[in-house]
Amino acid sequence: MADYLVIVESPAKAKTIGKYLGKQYTVKASMGHVRDLPKSQLGVDIEHGFAPKYITIRGKGDVIKQLREASRKAKRVFLAADPDREGEAIAWHLAHLLDVDMSESCRVVFHEITKDAVKQAFQQPRRLNMHLVNAQQARRVLDRLVGYRLSPLLWRKVKKGLSAGRVQSVAVRLIVDREREIRAFVPEEYWTADAHFSLKEGTFSARFHGYGDEKTPLPDRASVDELLARVKGQAFRVERVKRSERRRNPSPPFITSSLQQEAARKLGFRAYKTMQIAQQLYEGLDIGAEGAVGLITYMRTDSTRVSEVAQAEARQFILERYGEAYRPERPRQYSTRSGAQDAHECIRPTSVRRDPESLQPFLNKDQYRLYKLIWERFVASQMSAAVLDTTTVEIAANGAWFRASGSIVKFPGFMTIYTEGQDDSAVDEGDNRILPPLEEGMVLPEPTVIPEQHFTQPPPRYSESSLVKAMEELGIGRPSTYAPTIETILKRGYVVYEQKRFVPTELGEIVVDLLVQHFQQLIDVDFTANLEKELDRVEEGDVDWIKLLQSFYGEFEKDLERAEQSLEHVHIVDEVSDVVCEKCGRQMVYKQGRYGKFLACPGFPECRNTKAITREVGVNCPQCGKPLVERKGKRRKVFYGCSGYPECEYVLWDRPTGQMCPVCGHPLIERHSKRGTTVVCSNEAKHPQPATAQASGRA
């Protein structure tokens, strides 16, 4: 038997670490947490200092038995769970169950699972950090108190099966508040007027800016007609040409929230999927001759700090692959936002020498795409700034001023490998537009002035990326909680995810209104953010976790008592559809599930008939002529099938545009790529090349 027992959370991590430690060490996995609060009761002794009542998690008996047997035979036990609050708590629970002496240095932590990092960590074991443990216990008890005291009230007053959470409820409120902002929005009309010039050297357009130096809006058609009359037949003269050099710096390396945001924008990954794949990359994957290797540093962090060793390696790599011009004179330093925990580094590859292409044969598609994103972001963060030559031209005609801007990339710098994605914002066309040679005093040929009517738009619904960003900026939760929080509010039916946007359900709005009315403090964004700061202070040893719980629970209990007395029963009436249940003849009603609305028979439980709600997409099946409808597959992937199914099995996996191909009569579809969206014929056998190549402008 080996002299030392090492316990980690997962078999993959055990395999990777075991390779580095040698025959003296046995590495086993706890399979995550081994103890937790019981599900059948509150599990917190409020009268005696909020003492948690921990029990062994169901199904973990055999794992604990094996760990106990191994620990009795080992000279020493090392607890090597992840380097955060949750990992420290897992180590503490294991120490209790295995009778590990907590006065000894039994805790081993490493930020990356590489040979050097693991060996160095085992040379410097430490004692368990009870401040970290208590911060995790405080969070766990807070969430249990809210969930197990508030949920029964919602069951009695609103609907059985409802639940509320400390962080989740605030996240739902953000989505509800945004939806109401959208509903209350009143569009305002405005116009733009673009002058299109044709020169020998090329064409370009300039947008009306104003009369004189003042920006002048065009609120209606009358103001547009006045402008057109004013410039008709007038000379258009180049009055000012401003040329400048602009530097664009790279984005900092990833932290948890920015990784989730960028993976959502560029890869279409949900937050939970991003974290799941990142965990695999961190714990280690078999990459051929090297065996199992941890490919990225720890993925739960809100620090942009980079170790000097990693930075030096990146700078040498940049010099060798891209040249001296692409490596800045001094290593780049990035400031970490206020309140962030700086215990860990940023998320980066454990070695930039392992470029994505060399690893592609050993990774699955999603692992490769996420690793490539992390690798490119990190390498770019250590590269030189991009340099752009920008030109702004101002053109006047009878006192009306038009403005055009453009730029060209003089030196690509970091943009050679990476540029950050955008959230709900239009691409700045001026960054990509190249203007023809223009000089001050030039008189241009009379342009075609084209006015266009617009209406102001409401703020967009939250995407997963923008919701994570909002939670981070407001201080709601911590990086490790974003993904589970989003999954929880979806599972509870408080919001649905439609067309990659979060939409609150009627139930979600009702629950938020009740909480705002009766638990103002609990659902207040600032209060939740301040509570997170207090949990951070517990971790730092500045606040006693029991006193924090006492302070919170005093007000919370008063709110519970008041709500019990004043909150009236809320009856949620199901909306009746015009669809008749074919099994019992009742009018089916709309129900809200995790993935959106569906039809259900009101005769439940006698009649359990349900139906998906189908939506016609505006074109007919080319095989049988019946309407095509939007459907969802087993993994919630949207597709477009014939409403005549199962007799007709025609299906499309890309969204139809509503138009038919003029050549063969099959539906035209939208085909998405990094360059944008093109419209092609769905009958690819007939049209191996795109039937049309019109860019839709949506990326």
Pairing status of strand 4-8 against strand 25-29: parallel
pLDDT at position 341: 53
Is it the case that residue 688 has pLDDT exceeding 50?
no
pLDDT at position 553: 95
May I ask the CATH class of domain 4-128? alpha beta
Structure-model confidence comparison of residues 639 and 178, the more confident one? 178
pLDDT at position 158: 83
Q: Which tokens in the block code for residue 423?
A: 């959230």
8 Å CB contact between 378 and 356: no
Report, as an integer, the average pLDDT of 477-493. 90
8 Å CB contact between 56 and 30: no
Q: Roughly what angle, to the nearest 10 degrees, separates helices 130-157 and 545-566? A: 0
Determine what percent of the chain falls in helix, strand and coil, rounding each to the nearest 5. Answer: 35, 25, 40
SS3 104: coil
Report, as an integer, the average pLDDT of 478-488. 91
Is it the case that residue 252 has pLDDT exceeding 50?
yes
For the ranges 478-487, 524-533, 645-654, which has the lowest average pLDDT? 645-654
Catalytically annotated residue among 20, 298, 462, 494: 298
Sketch the domain layout of the chain as residue ranges: 4-128, 150-184+461-566, 189-249+386-455, 256-381, 574-613, 614-699
Report, as an integer, the average pLDDT of 56-61. 94
CA distance 131 to 488: 28
Contacts of 1 (CB under 8 A, 6+ apart): 26, 73, 74
Q: Which tokens in the block code for residue 320?
A: 């060798």
SS3 47: helix
Helix (H) or strand (E) holding 491: helix 482-491
pLDDT of 532-564, one tens digit each?
999 999 999 999 999 999 999 999 999 999 999
The CA distances from residue 66 to 5, 220, 261, 596, in Å, are 12, 77, 40, 44
pLDDT at position 605: 87
SS3 680: strand
8 Å CB contact between 205 and 461: no
Phi, psi values for residue 649, rounded to 5°: -105, 20
Q: Determine the CATH number of domain 189-249+386-455.
A: 2.70.20.10
User: pLDDT-derived band of residue 174, with 50, 70 and 90 as boundaries?
Assistant: very high
Biggest alpha carbon–alpha carbon distance for the chain: 97
% the chain with pLDDT above 70: 93
Say which DSSP state 57 is in: P
Report, as an integer, the average pLDDT of 105-110. 96
Angle at 81 between CA 57 and CA 484, to 5 degrees: 65
CA 44 from chain centre, in angstroms, equals 33
CA distance 192 to 205: 12
605 cis-preceded (ω within 30 degrees of 0): yes
Structure-model confidence comparison of residues 596 and 296, the more confident one? 296
CA distance 610 to 601: 6
- Beta-bridge mates of residue 45: 51
SS3 388: strand
The CA distances from residue 306 to 253, 419, 479, 548, in Å, are 8, 20, 18, 33
Contacts of 457 (CB under 8 A, 6+ apart): 187
Phi, psi values for residue 107, rounded to 5°: -100, 130
8 Å CB contact between 145 and 44: yes
Which own/partner pairs from 97-106 qualify as long-range (CB within 8 Å, at least 24 positions apart)?
97/34, 97/35, 97/56, 97/64, 97/67, 97/68, 98/67, 98/68, 98/71, 99/71, 100/71, 102/127, 102/128, 103/127, 104/76, 106/76, 106/77, 106/78, 106/79
pLDDT of 402-435, one tens digit each?
999 998 899 999 999 998 876 654 444 455 578 9
Is it the case that residue 690 has pLDDT exceeding 50?
no
- Beta-bridge mates of residue 393: 241, 404
8 Å CB contact between 516 and 173: yes
User: pLDDT-derived band of residue 256, with 50, 70 and 90 as boundaries?
Assistant: very high
Structure-model confidence comparison of residues 626 and 126, the more confident one? 126
User: pLDDT-derived band of residue 591, with 50, 70 and 90 as boundaries?
Assistant: confident
Report, as an integer, the average pLDDT of 285-289. 92
CA distance 110 to 127: 14
Report, as an integer, the average pLDDT of 16-30. 93
8 Å CB contact between 215 and 414: no
Residues in the chain: 699
Fold of domain 150-184+461-566: Topoisomerase I; domain 2 (1.10.460)
Helix (H) or strand (E) holding 447: none
Question: 């006192």: which residue's tokens?
Answer: 399
pLDDT of 362-373, one tens digit each?
999 999 999 999
The overall average pLDDT reported for the chain is 90
Which own/partner pairs from 211-218 qualify as long-range (CB within 8 Å, at least 24 positions apart)?
211/399, 211/400, 211/401, 212/399, 212/401, 213/401, 217/190, 218/190, 218/191, 218/192, 218/193, 218/451
Contacts of 642 (CB under 8 A, 6+ apart): 621, 623, 624, 626, 628, 629, 648, 649, 650, 651
Is it the case that residue 696 has pLDDT exceeding 60?
no
For the ranges 124-138, 143-157, 371-385, 611-625, which has the lowest average pLDDT? 611-625
Q: Determine the CATH number of domain 256-381.
A: 1.10.290.10
pLDDT at position 567: 85
DSSP string of 254-297? B-HHHHHHHIIIII---HHHHHHHHHHHHH-EE-GGG-EE--B-
Question: Is residue 298 flagged as an active site residue?
Answer: yes
pLDDT at position 694: 36
Phi, psi values for residue 206, rounded to 5°: -130, 140
CA distance 587 to 518: 36
pLDDT of 598-645, one tens digit each?
899 999 889 999 987 777 888 889 888 888 988 876 556 778 988 888
Report, as an integer, the average pLDDT of 172-189. 96
